[in-house]
Copies of this chain bind each other. A is one copy, B any other.
Amino acid sequence: MEEIPPSLLALTTYLLSRVGKSARGRLAGRLAEQGLKLWHMAVLAALADFGPHAQRDLATRLTIDPSDVVKVVDELAAAGYAERARDQADRRRVVVSLTPGGRAALADLDVTARAVQEEILGPLDAHEREVLHDLLSRLQPRLG
């Protein structure tokens, strides 16, 4: 007796919300085991993909409040995953860069994320996963 109301399951919006929440929750849970949160992963990924950033640029890119970036970077620095350095060209700015440890941690997180993915996408075969990923990719840009 744990059926979900069919009129909700008929809504793709509801399914997206539900599946998304589960994905988010599971990933967050795994990250928590390593003492990290989702934003930490996002920042590490941004640093890895685009190189060192001024904190301000991280905030813009990730659509996160600058004051929250400070906290995330604080924690990444405390864990030895990122380093801060004053930008000598503009000494207001602080340039954040990945340490080798941070790069290694990110690689671990990627493995973790793929394991979570394996759990969630279990019922789908390789082709179906690809289709799902493609469809979601096309939705993603619209979101603000």
A residues neighboring B (CB under 8 Å): 1-9, 11-24, 26-27, 38, 41-42, 45-46, 48-50, 57, 60-63, 106, 110, 113-114, 116-117, 119-124, 128-129, 131-133, 135-140, 142-143
Bound together, the chains give a CA A9 to CA B1 distance in angstroms of: 37
What is the total number of copies of this protein in its complex? 2
Known contacts: A1-B60, A14-B113, A57-B1. The answer to whether A140 contacts B9 by CB under 8 A is: yes
**B19 near A18: Cβ-Cβ < 8 Å:** no
Name the B residues within 8 Å of A120 (CB-CB).
Answer: 12-13, 16, 139, 142-143
Cβ-neighbour of A42 out of B5, B117, B123 (below 8 A): B5
Given contacts A60-B2, A124-B138, A142-B122, contact A42 B8 (CB under 8 A): yes
Nearest CB on B from A28, distance (A): 9
Q: Which residue of the partner chain B has the closest CB to A6?
A: B49
